[in-house]
Amino acid sequence: MAYWLLKTEPENYSYFDLERDGSTIWDGVNNSLALKHLRTMLIGDLALIYHTGKERQLIGIAEIISQPYIDPALNDSKRVVVDVRAVQRVQQPVTLGQIKQDEKFTDFDLLRLPRLSVVPVSQVYWQRLIDMTNGTD
């Protein structure tokens, strides 16, 4: 199983929208590195949902429920999507500021490549972030 961080603008589609819908197509990704990450996702992988914009915080956990496939809304074989489903809202959102202040995240792509919308998360970083969302730093 792999771990990911998926960014979304909450005014366009928030984690709460995902909870309401149950599942959705994760689309709108056009950066080549982010698309490369999408292509490697497998069913059962987990993703932290991160609200961008004014919020800048981890808000929920989702599961990848499909293999990557060509975006049905576009006529471009390079643009892929995956289906995701809501798993749970985190107990305590973790802000970008909190992540930046934690010296354990110095090599985290969320900080190194801040414009990347699909970020791989190592098992070590995943566990640290989950601990932070549970309030067990």
| Residue 137 confidence class, pLDDT cut points 50, 70, 90 | low
- Contact by Cβ (8 Å): 105, 99: yes
Residue 15 exposure: Cα atoms within 13 Å on the Cβ side = 24
pLDDT tens-place string over residues 4-35: 999 999 999 999 999 999 999 999 999 999 99
| Strand pairing report for 46-51 and 57-64 | antiparallel
* Residue 7, both tokens: 């960014």
Over residues 111-121, the mean pLDDT reads 96
Instruction: Name the residue with higher pLDDT: 124 or 136.
Output: 124
Separation of alpha carbons 3 and 121, rounded Å: 5
Q: Report whether pLDDT(77) > 80.
A: yes
Contacts of 8 (CB under 8 A, 6+ apart): 14, 15, 49, 50, 51, 52
Which whole number is the average pLDDT over 105-129? 96
**Averaged pLDDT score across all residues of the chain:** 96
pLDDT band at 36 (very low <50, low <70, confident <90, very high): very high
Query: Which CATH architecture describes the domain 3-133?
Result: Roll (3.10)
pLDDT, mean of residues 94-100: 97
Q: Which helix (DSSP H) or strand (DSSP E) does residue 33 occupy?
A: helix 32-39
**Radius of gyration of the CA atoms of the chain, in A:** 14
Longest dimension (CA), the chain: 46
Average pLDDT over residues 46-51: 98
Q: Which amino acid is at 88?
A: Q
